[in-house]
Structure 1
Amino acid sequence: MDSYANLGLLRLCKQVCNSISEPTTGLYNNLLRILAKFEDYNDTHSVYQEMALNFIYPDEETYSIVLGSCSSLLDVVNGKTIHGHIVKMGFESFYLLDSALVEMYKTFGDCGDINDLSYWNPLIFAASQKRDAKEIFWLYKRMRMEKVQVDSFTAINLLRSSVDLGSLEAGRAIHSVVVVTGLRPDMPVNTALLTMYSKLGDLYNARLLFEQMPEKDCFVWNVIISAYCQSRYPEQSVELLRSMAKTGVRADLFTVLPVISSIRQLKSNWWA
């Protein structure tokens, strides 16, 4: 295959790949590298689809090459679809793919409409992958100048960035934006708000929000219990664990460890 590639005979490269009775991921990756080298980006996606039809599992190199092709073609639809595949396959934390996703979304952002969220959210996603909270808020400031309203994705990233900056004031401001713009407070937004208030030490608003949440999964209970533990309110954290048990939500290791710490603190206070 490499010999044909050196001569620029891409059609013969594909024929060699298709002639192998038991092709491997490495074989397909080699073909994808060749196609990308010769900027045959349309065929890279065809080969990716062929892998799926032949039950050949892609790896991080496969996804990196295909994402690069989507960037070059400005193919937003397939780019987002492949990002979904990456998440489902559990590859999102790989550094190689992290870089490829950031570059792809930056490219999509550069070609979008500045008055539309489809322009801003890819840029915010790219900044969030780098955990660059200052850049996210700078992008948000630019969004407001263009009179673009936030959606759930934007709000969640802004709330996480407030925590990264250690700014309760910024977090409260984003909460106000969520309320004023009429953004539906779904489970992910509510969880991000609860996490922000809990981690930044505003137990009053954290508890208020917690009590108002119509759905409370194990993660939500863990956030509020940990908040009380970290703020040195052991009695309340133990009481919350009892309430959690009554609702039928099963505790996990992240629930139990902070409560054990609280019980030790209670014993220490009692002996003191």
Structure 2
Amino acid sequence: MHLLSPRGKLKHLFFSTATCQTIRSYSNGRAYKCIQNRDSYDYTYLLERCRSSSCLKKIHAQVVVGGFEQNPFLAAKLVGAYGEYGAPNMGDARKVFDNLSDRDVFLWNVMIRGYANLGPFEEALDIYYHMRLSRVSANRYTFPFVLKACGAMKCTKRGKVIHAHVVKLAFDFDLYVGNALLAFYAKCGAIEMARVVFGEIPQKDIVSWNSIISGYTSNGYAGEAIKLFRAMVQEHNFVPDDATLVGILPACAQAAAIHLGFWIHAYIMKLGMKVNAFLASGLISTYGNCGHVKIARDVFDRVCDKNIVVWNAMIRCYGMHGHTDEALDMFSKVIELGLCPDGLMFLCVLSTCSHAGLVSKGWEIFHSMEAYGIRKTEEHYACMVDLLGRARLLDEAARLIETMPIPAGKHVYGALLGASRVHNNIELAEKVAEKLFVLDPDNAGRYILLAKMYEDVGRWEDVARARKQLKEKEIRKPIGCSSVEIESIHHTFGVQDESHPYAQEIFETLKSLEGMEDEELVMTLM
């Protein structure tokens, strides 16, 4: 068979009829003359041009027939190629790996990477431990894949064991491994350990900064994420890239940091960066949380390739600001365009119906979920319970809970308890509270809400009993706080908080304001 080699020179290769068919499958059916001669480089050339799993299996068969199944280089190529065609092919990759008698560190890494990317993630760790038993020394490329698998499983305990192996082999100061450790701890919610690892990386790169910023953001520490972003740009002179902005924009949305949101938007426009779906959804969420609905819509309209994430962000923006018609119109538009709404979109639309009191529309949307193959979760049922509760349909909400095909959790019963409080149905509230004390025992708000309902009807003994339970179980209510943004810096204050460096001046100013008459105060503030 005549075939062009990677160097562009004509080579003569001998293949069987089956192999000729394999080659034709990705060479547009050209006719080749088959002759008899081949080596491992020829198979490598074919593997690099393979375009389907069926083609791959045919080449694999030829490798076996040709007696090259023990070639470590070819085996690594086969394992990597099977991994590229998805999880169902990892079984074939494992057979190649298991049949090889001599495995080098590269082959072990390729196998671990396949499981770390596609799962089962447990298998990645299993391969790693067999690698150690085989006395093959891990290198700097091994640990990122193993840590990725640990992060996917959120297995902090086993990840710490891997961390110990990293330190033992003196890879803890390696940038590649350090970034992987940082990402692992962030995924597992161990943000303090992530910060320690970040501090120990000698020469941080943009990936290090992106990982710690997105770690703080995803774990709910928006203020810390913003501080790190400012330090990265202002103190360390790093230039933010797409990943940086995607990581920090959710923090801007959480903290309603509109000035930073404006800066990021201007930065994107100044550099002429393409506003992809992730950047667009982040900008829309930031503007939406800060009340700038028109600017959010302008960002939405400028996105060329809108995916479900972008539509969700805009529908949520409209819904949270009471633009019910616009939110429902956008939902209808999604359906008209032939896009398949996801579970989050249904949550946004159901929440919109709930706040607008649209019971019939809410039921219609709720029942339509099955038509789009969306599984109803507890959150969807909680939205419906909230919708019915706001409409004073408490009995109907209770019946919905009883007929749920999945166990009702704290979100569902929490919505019903809130509705019972609004409509002062103390009998229902007591029944629901008893379930919540089991499902969500450490939530102080449940006890306090029930105590306030008892206060409203003068049942003081029950008030004392509810508060006594809080004390006996040592459940503490989260301390409320307020925040204000001054010159792009967020200042947070709790009740009687004296931690701020200007606390004394603030309290003195508040004290002077308290003594002013209303008219005098207005004139001062103007």
Does structure 2 retain, via aligned residues, the 8 Å contact 1:203–1:227? yes
SS in 2 for 1:270: strand
Percent sequence identity over matched residues?
Answer: 21
What residue is the counterpart of 1:42 in the other structure? 38
Amino acid at match of 2:175: M
- Written as runs of structure 1 = structure 2, the 5 A alignment for 1:1-272 is 25-27=27-29, 42=38, 46=42, 58=49, 60-61=51-52, 66=59, 69-70=62-63, 73-74=68-69, 75-78=71-74, 80=76, 93-95=84-86, 99=89, 103=92, 106-113=95-102, 117=105, 120-183=108-171, 185-246=173-234, 247-267=236-256, 269-270=482-483
Judge conservation of contact 2:78–2:93 (CA < 8 Å) in 1. Answer: no
CA-CA distance at 1:199 after TM superposition = 0.9
8 Å CA contact retained: 2:79, 2:96: no
Give the 3-state SS of the residue equivalent to 1:192 in structure 2: helix
- Any idea what the Cα deviations from partners look like across 1:54-97, whole Å, max 9, x if unmatched? xxx9351476654554465223334546889x7xxxx974449x
1:207 and 1:224 in contact (8 A); partners too: yes
TM-score normalised by the chain length of structure 1:
0.66
SS at match of 1:169: helix
* Alpha-carbon distance in structure 1 between the residues aligned to 2:156 and 2:213: 19
8 Å CA contact 2:75, 2:97 repeated in 1: no
Residue-by-residue CA offset, 1:152-191 (whole Å, 9 max, x unaligned) = 3332222111112211111111000111133464332112
Answer yes or no: is the 8 Å Cα contact 1:45–1:66 preserved in 2. no
Distance 2:96 2:32 in 1: 24
Q: Residue deviations 1:7-64, cap 9 Å, x none?
A: xxx7898xx9xxxxxxx82236x769x89xxxx7837954875x9xxxxx93514766
Deviation of 1:240 (Å): 1.1
For residues 201 and 129 of structure 2, what CA distance do their matches in structure 1 show?
29
Distance, in Å, in 2 between the alignment partners of 1:189 and 1:262 is 26
Contact 1:70 1:76 in 2 (8 A): no
Q: Distance in 2 between matches of 1:182 and 1:109?
A: 30
Give the Cα separation in 1 of the matches to 2:197 and 2:240: 20
Contact 1:106 1:122 in 2 (8 A): no
Figure out how many residues of one structure are paired with residues of the other and give that number: 239
Distance in 1 of aligned mates of 2:151 and 2:43: 42
- Please, which runs of 5 or more residues in structure 2 have no aligned partner? 2-13, 21-25, 257-288, 290-481, 485-492, 494-526
Kept in 1, the 8 Å contact 2:171–2:177? The answer is no
Q: Secondary structure at the match of 1:263?
A: helix
Larger helix proportion of the pair: 1
Alpha-carbon distance in structure 1 between the residues aligned to 2:42 and 2:128: 37
Q: Higher relative contact order by CA 8 Å / sep ≥ 6: 1 or 2? A: 1
CA distances 1:205-259 after superposition (whole Å, capped 9, x unpaired): 2112212223333332221111111222222111111122133332233322443
Contact 1:25–1:58 under 8 Å retained in 2: no
The code of the aligned residue for 2:221 comes to: Y
Matched-pair contact (CA < 8 Å) for 1:71–1:107:
no
Contact 2:72/2:100 (8 A) holds in 1: no
- The 2-side partners of 1:44 and 1:112 are apart by 18
> Structure 1's 185 and 68: CA in aligned 2 closer, same or farther, altered over 3 A?
farther
Deviations 1:134-163 (Å, cap 9, x if unpaired)? Answer: 222223333444444433333222211111
CA offset at residue 118 of structure 1? 6.1
Q: Structure 1 residues 256-265 or 151-160, which shifts more?
A: 256-265
Over the aligned positions, Cα root-mean-square deviation in angstroms equals 4.5
Classify 1:11/1:66 alpha carbon distance in 2 versus 1 (closer, same or farther; 3 Å).
Answer: closer
- For the residue of structure 1 that corresponds to 2:249, the secondary structure is helix
Higher-Rg member (1/2): 2
Deviation at 1:119, TM superposition (A): 6.7
